[in-house]
Amino acid sequence: MSRLDGQVAIVTGAAQGIGRKIAEGLAGVGARVVVADVQAADEVANSLGGMAVAVDVSDQAGCERMAQATIDSYGRIDVLVNNAGIWSSLEPTPFDHLSVDEWKRVFDVNVLGMYLATRAVAPFMRQAGRGRIINLSSGTPYKGVPFFLHYVTSKGAVIAMTRALAKELGADNVLVNTIAPGFTLSDGVLHNPVQLEQLQDVSAKARVLVRDQYPEDIVGAVLFFAGEESSFITGQSLVVDGGAHFN
């Protein structure tokens, strides 16, 4: 796997869960990491020798400040991992009982937030003539998982956004790809007893590799899409779920 010495990676939602493990993985191959989160992240950033930035990705000015703070401190942005998302706080709900406010919040963070973070870093990547954008989708739009229609639809939008953005940014050598994890025992999920009871066993049993999925399982795919090995791959979605769904 490529070393990312000298490179700078922003990981949104990296204070805990999948994002934290991704940040650790990127730091482990030499990147300077910006831990961008709506919750306090100084401790995580310090442990990685990186920098914490407070941001709500659904806020345009906040995303612009995140990008500028990275440039001010490190002078470049090589990788953006759009990981921040609303999932672990959601409970299974029939589609016709979902609250419209919750639907809007899920889309504000999972779709608009991804767009705004991308938009904020794109000028710097374009100027540099290189960049990697890695978007966290989910296995749910592939499987059509019921009772989370807002979430599943938002993660389907991430796949569509990845494809169209890859076409707009390809000329600038900015590559855009998606990783779609299966049900993962992240920090957030471990605090949601309803998700654990309803999804943990059924997800593990649906896999070819019959075991629970952990945040660490996603890190290798991120390092691949951030590194030189994937320099001719863009607009793609990689499902990382132990073989529950085949593309």
Residue among 148, 141, 189 nearest 163 (CA): 141
Min dist. Cβ of residue 19 to ligand NAD (A) = 5
Candidates 19, 50, 131, 141; binder of ligand NAD (CB under 6 A) is 19
| Burial environment of residue 246 by CB neighbours within 10 A (0 to 12, 13 to 18, 19 or more) | exposed
Q: Is 13 in the site for ligand NAD (CB under 6 A)?
A: yes
Which residues within the stretch 196-215 sit at the binding site for ligand NAD (CB under 6 A)? none
Candidates 60, 88, 153, 198; binder of ligand NAD (CB under 6 A) is 88
Min dist. Cβ of residue 70 to ligand NAD (A) = 15
Q: Is 142 a catalytic residue?
A: no
Residue among 184, 163, 179 nearest 221 (CA): 179
Residue 83 tokens, joined = 């990981």
Q: Is 131 in the site for ligand NAD (CB under 6 A)?
A: no
Which residues within the stretch 133-192 sit at the binding site for ligand NAD (CB under 6 A)? 136, 138, 181, 183-184, 186-189
Residue 231 sits at the vertex; the CA angle it makes with 60 and 180, to the nearest 5 degrees, is 60
Task: Specify the residue, 169 or 189, whose C-beta has the smaller distance to ligand NAD.
Answer: 189
Q: Is 101 in the site for ligand NAD (CB under 6 A)?
A: no
Q: Of 2-10, 53-61, 94-102, 224-232, which part binds ligand NAD (CB under 6 A)?
A: 53-61
Min dist. Cβ of residue 199 to ligand NAD (A) = 8
**Distance (Å, whole) CA 153 – CA 107:** 9
Positions annotated as catalytic residues are 151
Interface residues with ligand NAD (CB under 6 A)?
12-13, 15-19, 37-39, 55-58, 83-88, 109, 113, 136, 138, 181, 183-184, 186-189
